[in-house]
Amino acid sequence: MNRNQVRPQRRHATPSRIERVRRQAVPKPRVIIALLLLLGLVSVMLLDGYLRAEVGNDQRVRSDASASKVPDSVLDGGPFLSFQGGTARTRSVPDKTIVLTFDDGPDPEWTQKVLDILDDNDVPGTFFLVGSMISRYPDVVRRMVDDGNEVGVHTFTHVDLSYQSAARVTREIAQTQLALAGAAGITTTLFRAPYSSTNDAIDNYSWPVYKKLGAMGYTSVFIDTDSEDWQQPGVSKIIKWATPKSGKGASVLFHDAGGNRAQTLEALPQYIKKMKSKGYTFTTVSGAQQQAQGQQAQGQQAQGQQAQGQQTQAPQDTPGTAGDTRQSNPEQAAHRTADTATLWEGRALLGAVAVAEWTVPGLAAVLAVVGVAVLGRFAMMLVLARRHYRQRNRRRFSWGPSVTEPVSVIVPAYNEKECIANTLNSLAASTHPIEIVVVDDGSTDGTAEIAESLGLPNVRVIRQPNAGKPAALNNGVRHARYDIVVMMDGDTVFEPDTVQRLVQPFGDPEVGAVAGNAKVGNRTTIIGAWQHIEYVMGFNLDRRMYDLLRCMPTIPGAIGAFRRDAVLGVGGMSEDTLAEDTDITIALHRAGWRVVYAEHARAWTEAPASLGQLWRQRYRWSYGTMQALWKHRKSVTDRGPSGRFGRVGMPLVVLFQIVTPVFAPLIDVFTVYAMIFVDFKASLLAWLAVLLVQLVCAGYAFRLDRERYRYLLMLPLQQIAYRQLMYLVLIHSCVTAATGGRLRWQKLKRTGEVGTPAPGTGVR
């Protein structure tokens, strides 16, 4: 399907070189739109992946690390660690006091139920929140704060900070604070490290992190008692393990997210009632710190009074941690009202997360549909291609009476000096009687003279002003002497028996056109090998399927045969689209003619040799196909045999050649996404499984076409590189169509390296 004509431009309208350079330097709007869409998609997926995964060197706390650099007063101190003037200081929970702490939330199911339990029992909790979860469920956080509970930072991605760089530590905290500001309009001075436990678990690796956070004004919160509810040991054990000994106070750890928390929900109300019956009170981290400060101040005052023998008034409550905008509730003293900049940055973060939360699942649903469509297409191609092969190779199969009368071969040519001699010499060796009509479309390189100088019999050269390929073909049809016309490109060569095999289906009077088997002749390069695989698998295997379904969408421009009357009956080759081959094929369907595939009629064409030429060719093909489908959109309402293409072919072409390829990149995008954020091994295996399915299809296509299997070694690289290029071409074409852009014919550079095929050897 070589479309190589170029429309002439009027001399006075030709832009200067400087103007052309300026135009090329300015990106076209559709290119900008495509790039913005791509950037937006990548950004959304990266954000979603970051929200849902622990990214980058996530490990667990060491159990055998040294704590030689950690002060003994910290290792043996209370669960609340802060720094004043660079000096570490710890506080304990007062006796008969419980601080309920919950890690890993918020969760839309479990956290809400935990909050219900706390409300029912009139006790507060302190929740250490994961920033990514805050971003996804801000309403839960808002309720949490409004109910009088306290919140703290539990990093953004639940990563062990003792393994991270200082920049990563700062980023994890800052992002969580932004999410908290966007959700509830506050920030917090409380922090709990993922995988932390009691103070004596601090080691030389984690100690610098706590010092850094202390210098930033954070209070690091540890535990005295661990319910170990994450192990789901049973309700009774959760209650037992969460109960402090000998009436001591405790910072108790529960979880409100990160797994099934049904046992936690069952144990929590029983635990609260049990501790209340023992005379315990419940408070938050800030509340416990204030009580501890008050007791310490009273103790110091009592000692002073005893020493001085004086009585003084009871001291006022001492503030907990530094800050100038404390909440009115003393048990939320760690909360700070977010400043305006932080508030709006947080809201912007939540907005972006909301977009990702809607977009990625939507894309995943589309991916599922695309995946089913792709696998369905492979299955359909294999089954129908096998059936087509068996049907056409039956001993009794016949199109009808053998076609022996001469045919006209039309060769449109525009500046084909490199190729025209090989093309005409291959036709001269034809075993079927033919006349050769070369239509020179205003060539300026001597193409017509070369054709005439060959002195080949039955060759006529018709000259016309440059008018484009459709006009050249129509001119050739008008000058054809015979009822069957074969159309080919000026850079294509036929095997000696190609014409004979191509015209035999016309023994059936219902057949109006025949598609031949186009093959890549210059397949020695990587780009050529990629196109060779595509031609054999993507084009010819497809044609077997469409042939059996009687809805062939395209007769390739490189090799096709037509009844002359059928072509003239539909108005000839149309100039309405850039895909005149697809246009005429659909028009013939709608006129009631049958279009079939002759797989043994082979033509060897010169495929684009560079990525730039390949892009321009496929861009034109894709856009032209869309034009043709739109032009014949009313075929879906055609009735009778002429409406078969509209009922069957049109939906299949739209699904398999436009919709599925446009969204097919999602398969690769989500594969990369899953490798980074989900499970690398499983994702890689899934991708390899899809590749295996494609390899099986390609192998079967090569078997049917009797091609050498060694080219299939290029298939994995083709899937990684070449296929992505074809996707981008199609997406670019869709954007062009959507924005009303127009394309022009462009002449592709030819080398003439596809030589005349020798009998029985294909191409040399």
Please pick, among 255, 432, 532, 589, the residue that the annotation labels catalytic.
Answer: 255
Tokens of 387: 């059936």
Find, among 139, 166, 144, 68, the residue nearest to 100 by Cα: 144
Terminal Cα distance for the chain, rounded: 21
- Asked if residue 534 lies in contact with residue 641, where contact means CB atoms within 8 angstroms, the answer is no
- What's the rounded Cα separation, in Å, for the pair 124 and 599? 78
β-strands 190-191, 219-221: how paired? parallel
Q: SS3 for 389? A: helix
Burial 606-626 (b: 16+ CB within 10 A, else e): bbbbeeebbbbbbbbbbbbbb
Find, among 296, 430, 350, the residue nearest to 178 by Cα: 350
Q: SS3 for 138? A: helix
- What's the rounded Cα separation, in Å, for the pair 486 and 502? 9
158 is catalytic: no
Task: Indicate the residue type of 427.
Answer: L
- Asked if residue 314 lies in contact with residue 304, where contact means CB atoms within 8 angstroms, the answer is no
Q: SS3 for 494? A: strand
CA distance readout (Å), 517 to 145, 493, 499, 625, 694: 71, 12, 11, 19, 21
- Asked if residue 446 lies in contact with residue 461, where contact means CB atoms within 8 angstroms, the answer is no
255 is catalytic: yes
Tokens of 686: 């899934």
CA distance readout (Å), 741 to 28, 79, 622: 10, 67, 13
**Residues across the chain:** 764
- Computed on alpha carbons and rounded to an integer, the radius of gyration of the chain in Å comes to 38
Tokens of 135: 């971003």
- What's the rounded Cα separation, in Å, for the pair 471 and 475? 6
- What's the rounded Cα separation, in Å, for the pair 749 and 4? 9
Tokens of 257: 């997210």
Tokens of 70: 């950690």
Q: 597 forms bridges with which residues in the sheet? A: 515
Degrees to nearest 5, angle at CA 511 with 505 and 515: 65
Please pick, among 48, 103, 229, 542, the residue that the annotation labels catalytic.
Answer: 103
**Helix axis angle, 723-738 relative to 611-631, nearest 10°?**
50
| Torsion sign across C-alpha atoms 266, 268, 270, 271 | positive
- What's the rounded Cα separation, in Å, for the pair 386 and 557? 26
Backbone φ/ψ region at 430: left (φ over 0), alpha (ψ -120 to 50), beta: beta
326: DSSP letter = B
- Asked if residue 335 lies in contact with residue 150, where contact means CB atoms within 8 angstroms, the answer is yes
Residues labelled catalytic: 103, 255
